[in-house]
Structure 1
Amino acid sequence: MLTQRDEYIAKMKAQLDEWNASISALEEKGQEIKEEARVKYEEHLSALHVKRAEGEKKLAEMQAASENTWEQVKLETDNVWEAFKDSYQAFLAHFK
């Protein structure tokens, strides 16, 4: 039987996989952008890579967290995920 922790970690893994696929699609789209806009596009894309790496780090921390520290790590992870989601949405809005 899956615990709440296991379910949360599985959900975060699935979300991370989804974001990885979205970032890959954005990288491909970036190849089609005109040169003057490409620099700004790549800067924003680089920032998304940093946020994604933070999410991967937090996921690893969650997996390694003890039962005593899991709730605190979960709260921190939620904040990282929200920051990534906000950055991703801003990126999409800016480059539509």
Structure 2
Amino acid sequence: MSKSRDEYIAAMKKQLDEWSEHIADLEKKGHKIKEDARVEYEEHLAALHTRRAEGEKKLAEMRAATESTWEQVKLETDNVWEAFKDSYQAFTAHFK
């Protein structure tokens, strides 16, 4: 069963909030990174911030989508979500 539009948007908002928490945790841990790895760490962190901002933009587009554009915006949003998830997993795997 697919989620209603309102349920989908609420779930995406919740996911964005979780991403913000994850990024904040990573920022706190960044202070413990050795100096030689800090630049790479901060570059990856900046990429996560960018992906999260893309998610925020897509959330706004979802809220404004018409019935005729909803499915396309939803598909694009799903792609942004997957890209963030992949980036986050790669980041955390690389900086264990």
Q: TM-score range by the shorter chain?
A: over 0.9
Instruction: List gaps (5 residues or longer) in structure 2.
Output: none
Q: 1:23 Cα deviation (Å)?
A: 0.1
1:72 aligned to 2:72?
yes
Aligned residues: 94
Does residue 52 of structure 2 align to residue 52 of structure 1?
Answer: yes
Q: Secondary structure of the residue that 2:67 maps to in structure 1?
A: coil
Superposed displacement of residue 34, structure 1: 1.1
Q: What's the counterpart of residue 14 of structure 2?
A: 14
Report the AA paired with residue 12 of structure 1.
M
Tell me the residue number matched to 2:84: 84
- Separation in 1 of the partners of 2:68 and 2:4? 14
The two structures have a TM-score, normalised by structure 2, of: 0.95
Gaps of 5+ in 1: none
Runs (4+) off by over 4 Å: none
